[in-house]
Amino acid sequence: LMFGKVKPCNCAAAADRSPAQCNLVLLGVTGSGKSALTVKFLTKRFISEYDPHLEDIYSSEETVDQQPVTVRVMDTCDQEGPVNSERYLSWASAFLVVYSINNMESFKGCQLYLHTLALHNKTPIMLLGNKLDMDRYRQVSRCDGELLASRFGCVFFEVSACQDFLSVQRVFHEAVRRGRSL
Ligand code: GDP
Ligand code: MG
């Protein structure tokens, strides 16, 4: 895969030289599509099989509202719900909490992440119902997603990592818009 990786320890140093930067973290249960969304945003491609045990931080130079911004994306993988959340709670400038619309367990599971963020007063949060292409197997209504988002003060989107790039980019750029700092 042809996109840049950076290790967490480099981020603070890199941030000092950067005119604008934004750190995004993707949270949610295994299988919800965090890696697929991350890879789609970074490469415009859908990778259907991505190592489920891989957690890493990627960096991309983006232009959002005509402004250059260095976007770092932490694609997390937790084996069992929110653990060691310290690694991203203060690092992240915005949070993307992902579930699959065709999997009720993932919708329940993502609420543990929303509770963790609420407990630490962390914002902004984007709640993402992924796998919109699986609409015919939907288990979580759009209304349920919207309700959960409003309970936790999140912005809500339904997306698909395997459909058009622009709608995925729009979601990530909206997260940057809300999370970026100069
Ligand atoms: P993660 O554990 O949250 O990182 O999930 P992955 O990105 O590894 O995705 C889990 C599985 O769901 C993989 O088989 C992906 O191919 C699939 N997947 C991810 N996003 C989508 C999507 O938008 N639509 C469909 N149909 N499958 C997806
Ligand atoms: Mg993954």
Q: Whose CA is nearest to atom 22 of ligand 1?
A: 131
pLDDT of residue 144: 98
Compute the distance from residue 66 Cα to the ligand 2 centre, in Å: 31
Q: Is the link from the previous residue into 19 a cis peptide, with omega within 30 of 0?
A: no
Output the pLDDT for position 80.
81
pLDDT at 107: 98
Successive 10-residue mean pLDDT values, the chain, 182 residues? 55 56 97 98 93 94 96 94 92 98 98 98 98 98 98 98 97 96 62
Q: What is the DSSP string of 69-102?
A: EEEEEEE---SSSS-STHHHHTT-SEEEEEEETT
Q: Which ligand is nearest to the CA of 135?
A: 1
Per-residue pLDDT, 9: 45
- Burial of 21 by CB count in 10 Å (0-12 exposed, 13-18 middle, 19+ buried)? buried
Burial 107-140 (b: 16+ CB within 10 A, else e): bebbbbbbebbeeeebebbbbbbbbbeeeeebeb
Q: What is the Å distance from ligand 2's center to 157 Cα?
A: 19
Q: Report the pLDDT value the prediction gives residue 6, as an integer from 0 to 100.
A: 57
Determine if ligand 1 sits within 6 Å of the CB of residue 40: no
CA distance 2 to 20: 23
Count CA atoms closer than 13 A to 60's CA, side-chain side: 20
- Supply the pLDDT for residue 166: 98
> Which mutation among 34, 51, 74, 79 tests ligand 1's pocket best, with the greatest number of atoms within 8 A of CB?
34
